[in-house]
Amino acid sequence: MMKKIRSTILEWGPFDINELEGFEAPVFSHNGKAHYMLIEKFNPDDVSVATYINEIPLGSDLYSYNELIDETLNDILVIVEAYDSIMWAARERGVDYDH
């Protein structure tokens, strides 16, 4: 699973969850409704996790894929596969995205 995630991101470059319509950032952790951490950026070897309190962003940290639980990795794989499909379709239309 991590190999597929890494190879896809190496192929197309790192990306942000906001680049994909219809997808929400996977939850890294939460402590009630007011304090939560979302995975928002996907890199070849790690993810950027943003921390929010009362919907106010406080900052972000990097976590390696090895630090993530399988359920989260599965969520990321679905997102990365969608990203891969979008990028292949764009390439076929002659669109070149530069990250």
Using one digit for the tens of pLDDT, what is the confidence trace for 2-52? 999 999 999 999 999 999 999 999 999 999 889 999 999 999 999 999 999
pTM: 0.89
Using one digit for the tens of pLDDT, what is the confidence trace for 52-67? 999 999 999 999 999 9
Question: Does the residue 99 lie in any domain?
Answer: no
Question: Does the residue 80 lie in any domain?
Answer: yes
Q: Are 27 and 98 in contact (CB under 8 A)?
A: no
Question: Does the residue 9 lie in any domain?
Answer: yes
Q: Which of helix, strand or coil describes residue 25?
A: coil
pLDDT of amino acid 7: 97
Question: Does the residue 98 lie in any domain?
Answer: no
Helices (H) and strands (E) in the chain, counts: 2, 5
Beta strands 46-53 and 56-64, pairing class:
antiparallel
Question: Does the residue 24 lie in any domain?
Answer: yes
